[in-house]
């Protein structure tokens, strides 16, 4: 039984020979225990005999620590010797801590049963069985090898007693506690860190733990310290080193001495110690096995003072350093490091629920609100804890108020923690941080470098610093990612700046005044203008031109309101250094005549009133991105022959655009294109392509030459027969069809297929179009999303294929009136219990839920599935499209376990009515689906089987963000407890 999983009746059980020590040493020790609040077993009133009674045995077993006081006549008592046997049995079976005191007896005499101790012991052994004597000898030998206090080493018995009581307190404090029981994700962190510590290796070692503020580094380090402490005689957790000692000025000699003094006082349990030189630590701790945790270190001087002498310590010593600054560890030469990442979306939801609801999942009716808050907190554990605690016990209306507040401002406690990393940055790195927060979050780092290369910010060096301080992260595909709460903190930093010092304007009212009254200055380099709820805004002719250094202009609407109108003059002048122009719902039919394009890197005019952009050939060498999606009045595109560096072009839903200029063939760097109507003659370098067409019987053969195409999106009203011309490079296909549709066959190389056939009539191909060699039905791909919502004329063959196919990842939604009989574990209502018979470590379930609209009015509703096995919960949340009648929703569920659970319970909750549910156990599927669990190789950037990615709705639109993250979509939000 693990010691951390039970409660103890007594702190200490003392085992001693009464005539030797009861009225002397033990009376003083018990008094000291009382003084220190230590609960010790009291044997007074218990009649002594040769056999220890059941009460005494129970008392030993219910004590956390046993202290064996070995005196000259301890071995003369069979009572004491039998107590010792029981104590050592508890040490082995229950993890009981055993401490020793050698009172006026030599440990060697106890170990070898010599001298007076041995003489009295031999007398006790007379007449006993050989087995009994052997047990006693073994017990005495074992206990004598446990290091303890030796009375001959003390000239002051009172001091010795104080030290013993202090050691008992330390052991009680270091006992693995329930403080961290059930903490989401903690077990995984501790397991990985212990592997890095290599505890079986006796060589002293230093380990660094890094991660952003509020991620849980201190919590992990504290839990690790509690777990490891019993194995280290000397140990100390030095809290908040950076915060507590930042003002000392560790660069000077005296400050380093004070740091060392602080460490030695605690680790040696001294009340006073004099550190007169920097070698005292290595001298005092030389050859001692120590565990030292230095929490939240933020300077090299702190490490130099406290972690320099690791190799002077005893074998097995460990120093653990937590910090927000990864570079600090690298500069000090600590290469053995662990980076604490953000919890998955499912884990974040569970963390939040534990503080908001005191349970692992949302209360009924709060599911959508809980997911929304978890998203706003950006999965930061500190944010989830603070916000969850503030929402506990409040009504839905109160939640809405707090959520709205969270969208615009940060909790004070959160902001204080998050600002620490920002405030320690150099001035240029602070400016870079603010630019990323406002304009460039989730943007490619090369793109950001091109945007900021002439801003005197030393972008390369600055990005590295921000990564090392855990203020940003660089994803595997090169995107800069900043946490949403850090973005919020950045906005508050800007708002607190003096108005005349602001380089970036974000306050809508301030921006309205600047644009109407031309009060902007050369200081301004960026404007981020949310026109929601601003009413009518008037822009003066020279308002932008006055801000000569303006490079980044973003105008967008977070909320749509017809009263929010931006009025701009015909002859508005844009500043000459403009690099980013992002203006949603641009109100005029064309861009100004005097528009400087030579520095422009990105032009984003989504949902604009534009009919054309500009006349003639323009200097577009720096232009990399153009997004004109949903500009339904756009009739023509300009000459793009000079846009030789253009990489992304989105013309989605540009309904009036009927002709593509011949200059498209010159766009050799084009990687992503979204277009309406026709497959154009474009560069073969394109990797992501989206097209929306009225009729499409077959894709053209020329697409075979697009050798780098990986993601293809097709929206069509036609009757696709097959997609046989796809190049081998295509891995992910998104097909959205309307009307009567037969499902085409695809190349077997596809890893992911998503079909959205809402309200259409669908069938599989019949005998007139048999699948050819190398082609496959879409349901056989590793990941499949099948949206057959409201397809009430779905034929039997297609329905059977969907219901019987064992897709490894994904989901399917189709009309249905009852759970099919293949799902042999069925129940009415929202819960089903099954009893697996498989002995495999991986059990695969196929789940089917019959849902009814129940007056559904929203575009989508959520379905939550909670699976409980062996007390472990796993929660999955799916988005269900709007349904008109009863539908079946199907998805797989994987259970990894060392041994099969006797019982697995599936429980479902939703605003939809759950009529019935069923589960089918897939047998012998481990080999069949093995390939579905492996990551793509040969340069693939994404892991298509990543269960931690989520989608909360089904989007039909194609945009840059969807293209970039396309292969990571998965509608399941999962969490485990």
Q: Which of these ranges, 735-749, 854-868, 917-931, 951-965, has the smallest mean pLDDT? A: 951-965
Identify the CATH number of the domain in which residue 54 sits: 3.40.50.10140
Q: Which of these ranges, 35-49, 439-453, 575-589, has the smallest mean pLDDT? A: 35-49
Whether 415 is catalytic is no
Residue 5 confidence (pLDDT): 40
pLDDT tens digits for range 650-672: 988 888 887 788 778 778 888 88
Q: Are 205 and 256 found together in one domain?
A: yes
Q: Are 329 and 453 found together in one domain?
A: no
Query: Last residue of some domain: 152, 174, 196?
Result: 174
| Domain contains 226 | yes
pLDDT tens digits for range 824-852: 899 999 999 987 655 666 788 899 999 99
| Domain contains 542 | no
Q: Are 263 and 377 found together in one domain?
A: no
- At 672, which helix (H) or strand (E)? strand 672-676
- Per-residue DSSP letters for 185-248? THHHHHHHHHHHHTTT--S-EEEEEE--TTSSHHHHHHHHHHHHGGG-SEEEEETTHHHHHGGG
Q: Which one is catalytic: 44, 72, 83, 861?
A: 83
Q: Does 74 have pLDDT greater than 60?
A: yes
Contact 12, 63 (CB under 8 A): yes
Structure tokens at 54: 């059941």
Contact 44, 23 (CB under 8 A): no
- d(Cα 847, Cα 823) in Å, to the nearest integer? 8
Query: Last residue of some domain: 339, 356, 380?
Result: 339
Angle at 563 between CA 560 and CA 569, to 5 degrees: 105
End-to-end Cα distance, the chain: 21
| Domain contains 664 | no
Alpha-carbon dihedral 74, 75, 77, 81, rounded to 10 degrees: 100
Closest by Cα among 815, 914, 975 to 384: 975
Residue 930 confidence (pLDDT): 41
Residue 325, CA atoms < 13 Å, CB-side half-sphere = 20
Q: Does 678 have pLDDT greater than 50?
A: yes
Closest by Cα among 634, 685, 684, 637 to 663: 637
* Burial class of residue 520, CB neighbours in 10 A (0-12, 13-18, 19+): buried
Q: Which residue has the tokens 């800069």?
A: 480
Q: Are 403 and 429 found together in one domain?
A: no
- Measure CA 831 to chain center: 30
- Measure CA 121 to chain center: 61
**For residues 725 and 879, which has the higher predicted lDDT (pLDDT)?**
879
Q: Which residue has the tokens 């084009």?
A: 670
Contact 555, 534 (CB under 8 A): no
pLDDT (mean) for 19-31: 92
C-beta neighbour count of 337 within 10 angstroms:
16
pLDDT over 90 for what percent of the chain? 26
Residue 81 confidence (pLDDT): 93
Q: Are 395 and 424 found together in one domain?
A: no
Q: Which residue has the tokens 């206090």?
A: 149
* Burial class of residue 563, CB neighbours in 10 A (0-12, 13-18, 19+): exposed
Identify the CATH number of the domain in which residue 193 sits: 3.40.50.300
Residue 664 confidence (pLDDT): 80
pLDDT over 70 for what percent of the chain? 81
SS3 label, residue 76: helix
**For residues 261 and 104, which has the higher predicted lDDT (pLDDT)?**
104
pLDDT (mean) for 635-660: 87
Q: Is 198 left (phi over 0), alpha (psi -120 to 50) or beta?
A: left
pLDDT (mean) for 556-572: 80
Residue 250 confidence (pLDDT): 44
Q: Which of these ranges, 79-93, 403-417, 452-466, 577-591, has the smallest mean pLDDT? A: 403-417
Range of the domain at 392: 345-408
SS3 label, residue 391: helix
- Measure CA 149 to chain center: 47
Identify the CATH number of the domain in which residue 377 sits: 1.10.8
pLDDT tens digits for range 449-461: 989 988 888 899 9
Structure confidence at residue 405 as a pLDDT band (50, 70, 90): confident
Q: Does 143 have pLDDT greater than 90?
A: yes
Q: Are 356 and 453 found together in one domain?
A: no
Q: Are 217 and 312 found together in one domain?
A: yes
Closest by Cα among 415, 204, 453 to 309: 204
User: Hey, which residues does 672 pair with through a beta bridge?
Assistant: 648, 688
pLDDT (mean) for 409-414: 73
User: If you compute the radius of gyration of the chain from its CA atoms, what whole number of angstroms results?
Assistant: 35
Q: Tell me the residue ranges of DSSP E strands in 696-808.
A: 711-716, 732-737, 740-743, 746-747, 752-756, 761-764, 775-776, 783-787
Angle at 22 between CA 21 and CA 24, to 5 degrees: 65
Q: Does 933 have pLDDT greater than 60?
A: no
pLDDT (mean) for 610-621: 88
Contact 316, 204 (CB under 8 A): yes
Residue 550 confidence (pLDDT): 94
pLDDT (mean) for 213-234: 84
| Domain contains 136 | yes
Contact 960, 604 (CB under 8 A): no
- Measure CA 521 to chain center: 42
Q: Are 375 and 333 found together in one domain?
A: no
C-beta neighbour count of 273 within 10 angstroms:
15
- Measure CA 18 to chain center: 58
pLDDT (mean) for 640-653: 88
Residue 130 phi/psi, 5° resolution?
-60, -40
pTM of the model: 0.60
Mean pLDDT, all residues of the chain: 79
Q: Which of these ranges, 168-172, 492-496, 569-573, 849-853, has the smallest mean pLDDT? A: 168-172
pLDDT tens digits for range 190-202: 888 988 998 888 8
Q: Are 478 and 376 found together in one domain?
A: no
Q: Report H helices in 409-520.
A: 412-423, 427-435, 445-452, 459-468, 484-496, 508-517
Domain count, the chain: 5
pLDDT (mean) for 541-545: 87
Q: Are 160 and 12 found together in one domain?
A: yes
Residue 934 confidence (pLDDT): 37
Identify the CATH number of the domain in which residue 945 sits: 2.60.120
| Domain contains 849 | yes
Q: Which of these ranges, 8-17, 24-33, 222-231, 486-495, has the smallest mean pLDDT? A: 222-231
pLDDT (mean) for 330-341: 89
SS3 label, residue 739: coil
Q: Does 126 have pLDDT greater than 60?
A: yes
Q: Are 204 and 168 found together in one domain?
A: no
Residue 600, CA atoms < 13 Å, CB-side half-sphere = 22
Evaluate the CA torsion angle 771, 775, 780, 783 in order and state its sign. Answer: negative
Residue 293 confidence (pLDDT): 93
| Domain contains 367 | yes
Query: Last residue of some domain: 481, 496, 511?
Result: 496
Residue 138 confidence (pLDDT): 94
Structure confidence at residue 945 as a pLDDT band (50, 70, 90): very low
Residue 235 confidence (pLDDT): 84
* Burial class of residue 517, CB neighbours in 10 A (0-12, 13-18, 19+): exposed
Q: Is 871 left (phi over 0), alpha (psi -120 to 50) or beta?
A: left
Residue 812 confidence (pLDDT): 87
Q: Does 939 have pLDDT greater than 50?
A: no
Beta-carbon contacts of 824 under 8 Å, excluding residues fewer than 6 positions away, are: 918, 920
Evaluate the CA torsion angle 662, 666, 668, 671 in order and state its sign. Answer: negative
Q: Report H helices in 681-762.
A: none
Contact 228, 318 (CB under 8 A): yes
Angle at 145 between CA 143 and CA 147, to 5 degrees: 95
C-beta neighbour count of 442 within 10 angstroms:
14
| Domain contains 288 | yes
Q: Are 56 and 158 found together in one domain?
A: yes
DSSP 8-state secondary structure symbol assigned to residue 344: P
| Domain contains 433 | yes
Identify the CATH number of the domain in which residue 464 sits: 1.10.10
Q: Does 505 have pLDDT greater than 80?
A: yes
């Amino acid at each position: 039984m693990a010691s951390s999983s039970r409660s103890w009746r007594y702190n200490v059980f003392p085992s001693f020979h009464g005539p030797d020590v009861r009225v002397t040493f033990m009376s003083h020790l018990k008094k000291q225990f009382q003084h220190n609040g230590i609960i010790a077993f009291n044997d007074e009133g218990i009649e002594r005999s040769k056999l220890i009674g059941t009460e005494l045995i129970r008392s030993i077993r219910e004590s956390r620590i046993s202290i064996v006081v070995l005196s000259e006549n301890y071995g003369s008592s069979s009572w004491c010797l039998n107590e010792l046997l029981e104590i050592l049995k508890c040490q082995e079976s229950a993890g009981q801590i055993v401490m020793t005191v050698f009172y006026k007896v030599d440990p060697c005499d106890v170990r070898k049963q010599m001298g007076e101790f041995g003489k009295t012991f031999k007398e006790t052994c007379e007449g006993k069985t050989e087995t009994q004597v052997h047990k006693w000898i073994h017990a005495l030998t074992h206990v004598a090898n446990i290091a303890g206090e030796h009375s001959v080493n003390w000239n002051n018995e009172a001091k010795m007693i104080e030290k013993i009581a202090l050691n008992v307190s330390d052991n009680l404090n270091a006992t693995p506690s329930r403080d961290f029981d059930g903490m989401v994700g903690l077990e995984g962190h501790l397991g990985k860190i212990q592997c890095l510590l290599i505890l079986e290796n006796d060589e002293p070692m230093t380990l660094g733990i890094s991660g952003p503020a509020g991620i849980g580094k201190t919590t992990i380090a504290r839990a690790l310290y509690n777990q490891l402490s019993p194995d280290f005689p000397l140990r100390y957790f030095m809290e908040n080193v950076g915060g507590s000692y930042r003002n000392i000025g560790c660069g000077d000699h005296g400050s380093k001495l004070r740091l060392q003094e602080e460490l030695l006082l605690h680790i040696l349990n001294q009340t006073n110690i004099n550190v007169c030189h920097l070698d005292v630590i290595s001298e005092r701790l030389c050859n001692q096995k120590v565990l030292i945790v230095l929490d939240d270190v933020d300077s090299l001087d702190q490490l130099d003072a406290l972690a320099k002498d690791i190799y002077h310590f005893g074998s097995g010593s460990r120093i653990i350093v937590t910090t927000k600054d990864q570079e600090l560890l690298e500069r000090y030469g600590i290469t053995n490091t662990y980076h604490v990442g953000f919890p998955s979306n499912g884990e974040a939801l569970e963390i939040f629920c534990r503080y908001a609801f005191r349970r692992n999942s949302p209360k009924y009716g709060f599911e959508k609100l809980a997911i929304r808050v978890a998203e706003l907190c950006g999965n930061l554990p500190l944010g989830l804890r603070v916000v969850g605690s503030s929402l506990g016990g409040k009504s839905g209306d109160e939640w809405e108020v707090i959520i709205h507040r969270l969208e615009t401002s940060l909790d004070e406690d959160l902001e204080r923690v998050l600002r620490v990393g920002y405030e320690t940055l150099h001035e240029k790195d602070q400016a870079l941080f603010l630019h990323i927060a406002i304009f460039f979050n989730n943007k490619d780092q090369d793109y950001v470098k091109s945007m900021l290369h002439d801003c005197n910010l030393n972008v390369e060096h600055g990005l590295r610093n921000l990564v090392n301080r855990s203020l940003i992260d660089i994803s595997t595909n090169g995107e800069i990612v900043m946490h949403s709460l850090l973005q919020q903190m950045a906005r508050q930093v800007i708002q607190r700046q003096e108005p005349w010092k602001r380089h970036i304007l974000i306050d809508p009212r301030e921006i309205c005044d600047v644009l109407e009254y031309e009060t902007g200055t050369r200081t301004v380099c960026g404007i981020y203008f949310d026109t929601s709820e601003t009413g009518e805004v008037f822009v003066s002719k020279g308002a932008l031109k006055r801000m000569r250094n303006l490079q980044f202009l973003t105008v967008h609407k977070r909320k749509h309101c017809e009263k929010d109108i931006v009025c701009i003059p015909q002859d508005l002048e844009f500043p000459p250094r403009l690099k980013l122009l992002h203006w949603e719902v641009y109100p005029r039919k064309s861009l100004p005549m005097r528009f400087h394009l030579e520095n422009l890197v990105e032009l984003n005019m989504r949902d604009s009133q534009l009919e054309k952009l500009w006349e003639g050939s323009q200097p577009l060498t720096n232009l990399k991105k153009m997004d004109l999606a949903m500009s339904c009045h756009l009739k023509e595109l300009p000459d793009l022959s000079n846009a030789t560096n253009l990489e992304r072009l989105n013309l989605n839903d540009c309904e009036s655009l009927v002709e593509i200029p011949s200059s498209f063939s010159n766009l050799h760097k084009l990687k992503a294109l979204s277009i309406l109507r026709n497959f154009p003659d474009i560069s073969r370098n394109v990797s992501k392509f989206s097209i929306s067409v009225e009729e499409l019987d077959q894709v053209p053969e020329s697409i075979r030459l697009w050798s780098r195409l990986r993601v293809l999106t097709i929206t069509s009203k036609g009757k696709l027969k097959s997609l046989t011309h796809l190049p081998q490079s295509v891995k992910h296909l998104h097909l959205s069809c309307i009307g009567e549709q037969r499902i085409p066959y695809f190349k077997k190389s596809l890893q992911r297929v998503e079909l959205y056939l809402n309200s259409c009539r669908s069938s599989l191909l019949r005998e007139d179009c048999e699948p050819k060699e190398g082609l496959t039905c879409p349901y056989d791909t590793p990941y499949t999303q099948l949206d057959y919502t409201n397809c009430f004329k779905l034929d039997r063959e297609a329905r059977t294929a969907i219901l019987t196919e064992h897709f490894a990842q994904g989901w399917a939604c189709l009309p249905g009136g009852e759970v099919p009989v293949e799902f042999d574990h069925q129940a009415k209502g929202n819960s089903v219990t099954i009893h697996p018979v498989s002995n495999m470590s991986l059990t695969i379930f196929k789940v089917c839920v019959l849902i009814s609209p129940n007056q559904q009015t929203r575009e989508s509703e959520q379905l939550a599935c909670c699976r409980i096995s062996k007390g472990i919960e796993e929660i999955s949340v799916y988005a269900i499209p709007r349904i008109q009648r009863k539908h079946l929703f199907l998805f797989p569920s994987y259970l990894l376990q060392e041994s099969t659970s006797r019982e697995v319970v599936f429980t479902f909750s939703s605003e939809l009515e759950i009529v019935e549910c069923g589960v089918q156990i897939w047998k012998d599927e481990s080999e069949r689906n093995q390939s579905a669990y492996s990551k793509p190789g040969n340069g693939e950037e994404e892991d298509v089987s990543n269960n931690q990615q989520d989608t909360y709705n089904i989007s039909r639109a194609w945009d840059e963000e969807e293209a970039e993250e396309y292969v990571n979509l998965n509608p399941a939000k999962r969490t485990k407890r």
